[in-house]
A = this chain, B = another copy of it.
């Protein structure tokens, strides 16, 4: 199930890093199909055969990169999650938003690939890789919400799954806007970090209101 040990493992670790970083950059910038092995080896100034000796195939290289990135990230993410302390729910949510934003900025490869995967059906290993990552994220949000309910800051009758969906959708779009002004709807998410954070907090606040308010229906309507 894991990679069958190859030449690559014996390499000078410094060279390993150089290779992985360059390949990572290529995939992050172009996506899977548009990424070119020729271009990677060209920039690395190594022979094409070597890359194939290391990883077997383009898909193998990609899988290796993805797995490595996910592994590297897991620990810091857990730390954020577990450092929630005893803050109020809205503060926690804002903190998570801020951390995610910083994370996306610091790991353009993983974030870029993840974003592309969401929209592109024909990504290799899409189902496997996506469902791993997403399961983790959704559990995280659900737990956060349930904690909020326990504290009484989130309506008890709110469906955690729906709420988690909302959080993820908004966070996702906000992080995308951070890279690409076209998505930012004039909010300023893609400008300087300061206004960006203010915008993120505003978004989190509106969400929290939606989670906390006890009920709205102006007339006791149907349902």
Decide yes or no whether A197 CB sits under 8 A from chain B. Answer: no
Interface residues on chain A, size class: 35 or more
Contact of A202 among B31, B162, B169, B174 (CB under 8 A): B162
Q: Closest Cβ of chain B: how far from A151's Cβ, in Å?
A: 10
B161 touches A187 (CB 8 A): yes
Q: Are A176 and B216 in contact (CB under 8 A)?
A: no
- Which of chain B's residues have a CB closer than 8 A to the CB of A187? 161-162, 165
> How many copies are assembled?
2
Asked whether A213 lies within 8 Å of B202 as measured between CB atoms, the reply is: no
Q: Does A33 contact B (CB under 8 A)?
A: yes
- Shortest Cβ distance from residue A217 to the other chain B in the assembled complex, whole angstroms: 8
Q: A127-B182, A134-B182, A169-B173 given as contacts; is B119 within 8 A of A206 (CB)? A: no
Residue from B159, B176, B206 in contact with A118 in the complex, judged by beta carbons closer than 8 Å: B176
CA distance in complex: A165, B210 (Å): 15
Bound-state Cα–Cα, A172 to B177, Å: 14
- Determine if A130 is an interface residue (Cβ-Cβ < 8 Å): yes
Looking at A121, A159, A217, which has the most chain B CB atoms within 10 Å of its CB?
A121
Residue in chain B with minimal CB distance to A218: B88
Q: Which residues of A contact B (CB under 8 A)?
A: 30-31, 33-34, 88, 90, 115-116, 118-122, 126-127, 130-131, 134, 138, 153, 158-159, 161-166, 168-170, 172-174, 176, 180, 182-183, 185-187, 199, 202-203, 205-213, 215-218
Q: What are 22 sample pairs from A and B whose C-beta atoms fall under 8 A apart?
A: A30-B122, A33-B34, A34-B122, A115-B119, A118-B119, A119-B176, A131-B182, A134-B183, A138-B185, A159-B202, A161-B185, A161-B186, A164-B185, A165-B187, A166-B206, A168-B173, A170-B170, A173-B173, A209-B215, A210-B210, A210-B211, A213-B213
